[in-house]
Amino acid sequence: ARRHSVAVIPGDGIGSEVVPAAVAAVDAVAAVHGFTVRWTEYPWGSDHYRRHGRMMAVDGLDLLSRHDAILLGAVGTPDIPDDVTLWGLLIPIRRQFDQYVNLRPVRSMPGVRGPLRDANDIDLVIVRENVEGEYSEIGGRFHRGRPEEMAIQEAVFTRAGVARVAGYAARLASERRGGLTSATKSNGIIHTMPFWDEVVAETVAASPGVALRKVLIDALAAELVLRPERFDVIVASNLFGDILSDLASALTGSIGLAASANLNPERKHPSLFEPVHGSAPDIAGKGIANPVGQIWSAALMLRHLGEETAAQALLDAVDAALAAGVLTPDLGGNATTGDFVSAVVTTITATASTTADRST
Ligand code: NAD
Ligand code: IPM
Ligand code: MN
């Protein structure tokens, strides 16, 4: 049977609640679809930091590099600065493994109402540049404690870095509905963003059948709220893509629904799959976190590992649970994380036995 080796990092807060949920759902679908996942759990995160002064093992990146994929929950805790926790784990993984595409699909889900009146046909994908841009290590804090104190952070956009993510987005758009929106701010950010526009336009020009529209990020935020169904693929820099992904997923009902794939498209390194949301300290420990974003991320992982049918079965089971009204409190229901996963696993198992009955 096919075997996949996956590194699992539950991390902090609700990460340790939604990750086991996704693992159970994947195990169920794997049993039905003829493969196994060998999970290796790494207990890294804020507790590890409190004990060892590091977010992950010294050779953590090396350990991760030996797996086919990485499934992550979330990182971050109120009593440790976010720059320490995130730059000690998530950001180094994205960079070390050159996961330059952060793919974030957003769609209206059955049985779930978002905050907008008529929007039930949202179906878009955010392609977020994931290793450069506004998230740069270049800069610093100067004249500490003096009146002239300041902090400087350089945004770095390279031709190769913009072209490769724009190329990915253009290919994706050509396989979908052919619409590509580029998020920009070339009216205000006068060095990097005009360059972004230029490289995106040049790259997309090589993709026949893709209609490129560049939209200023402020207007784009408004348009997403007013006409979200109009968007197909959105390509955005690291920071703009980050903000747009919480906005777009909230329009479908909850950021707890949103999935992401941090991809190294060349497959030289493992890719990382994690929900868009964070560790949600405000609801952690209550057993009520929405596991959909984590399960959907696991489905993206299965697709990446070549298990397309299983990935689709997992997504169908999620849809079925939502459509049946198994909704966590963020979606207006009172289901627990466990209730939702039970519903998903039951559907997967039931579908399998129906199919087996039919084939005998
Ligand atoms: P958050 O995404 O953790 O939470 C924002 C709001 O959404 C909260 O009210 C939370 O309860 C709700 N929410 C999020 N996920 C949910 C789910 N699955 N089900 C139900 N409700 C959900 O964002 P935040 O509060 O700004 O950040 C908390 C911590 O997480 C910070 O330390 C932050 O740096 C970190 N963070 C980590 C990641 C990551 O590891 N990838 C991503 C985002 C934020
Ligand atoms: C995300 C998160 C991270 C990001 C943070 C936690 C550094 O918000 O994955 O969306 O900004 O990339
Ligand atoms: Mn984010």
Q: What residues pack around ion ligand 3 (CB closer than 5 A)?
A: 242
Give yes or no: residues 199 and 304 share one domain. no
Dist. CA 275 → ligand 1 center (Å): 10
Residue range 11-35, pLDDT digits in tens: 999 999 999 999 999 999 999 999 9
Dist. CA 278 → ligand 1 center (Å): 3
Asked if residue 259 lies in contact with residue 89, where contact means CB atoms within 8 angstroms, the answer is: no
Domain assignment present for residue 90? The answer is: yes
Domain assignment present for residue 230? The answer is: yes
Give yes or no: residues 189 and 241 share one domain. yes
Alpha helices in the chain (DSSP H): 15-33, 46-52, 60-65, 82-86, 90-96, 159-175, 192-205, 217-226, 238-251, 292-304, 308-323, 337-359
Ligand nearest to the CA of 85: 1
Say which CATH number the domain at 221 has.
Answer: 3.40.718.10
Domain assignment present for residue 110? The answer is: no
Domain assignment present for residue 259? The answer is: no
Give yes or no: residues 127 and 56 share one domain. no
Residue range 146-196, pLDDT digits in tens: 999 999 999 999 999 999 999 999 999 999 999 999 999 999 999 999 999
Which of 217, 251, 285 finishes a domain?
A: 251
Give yes or no: residues 245 and 322 share one domain. no
Determine which residue's CA is closest to atom 12 belonging to ligand 1: 280
Domain assignment present for residue 189? The answer is: yes
Dist. CA 245 → ligand 1 center (Å): 13
Domain assignment present for residue 64? The answer is: yes
Dist. CA 18 → ligand 1 center (Å): 12
pLDDT at 183: 98
Structure tokens at 199: 């490289």
Cα–Cα distance, 211 to 198 (Å, whole number): 15
pLDDT at 357: 67
Give yes or no: residues 96 and 123 share one domain. no
40: β partners: 7
Domain assignment present for residue 260? The answer is: no
Which of 202, 220, 251 finishes a domain?
A: 251
Query: What atom of ligand 1 comes closest to residue 274's alpha carbon?
Result: 41
Asked if residue 17 lies in contact with residue 289, where contact means CB atoms within 8 angstroms, the answer is: yes
Give yes or no: residues 329 and 242 share one domain. no
Sequence-distant (6+) residues with CB within 8 A of 217 are: 183, 184, 185, 236, 240, 244
With a Cβ cut-off of 6 Å, ligand 2 is lined by 86, 242, 276, 278
Q: Which of 242, 279, 294 to mutate to test the pocket of ligand 2 (most atoms within 8 A of CB)?
A: 242
- Domain encompassing residue 164: 115-251
Domain assignment present for residue 263? The answer is: no
150: β partners: 142
What pTM value is reported for the model?
0.97
Give yes or no: residues 231 and 120 share one domain. yes
Give yes or no: residues 69 and 163 share one domain. no
Q: How many domains does the chain have?
A: 2
DSSP 233-302: EEEE-HHHHHHHHHHHHHHTT-GGG-EEEEE-TT-SS-EEEEESS---TTTTTSS----HHHHHHHHHHH
Which of 220, 251, 282 finishes a domain?
A: 251
pLDDT at 355: 72
Residues of the chain with pLDDT under 70: 357-360
pLDDT at 88: 98
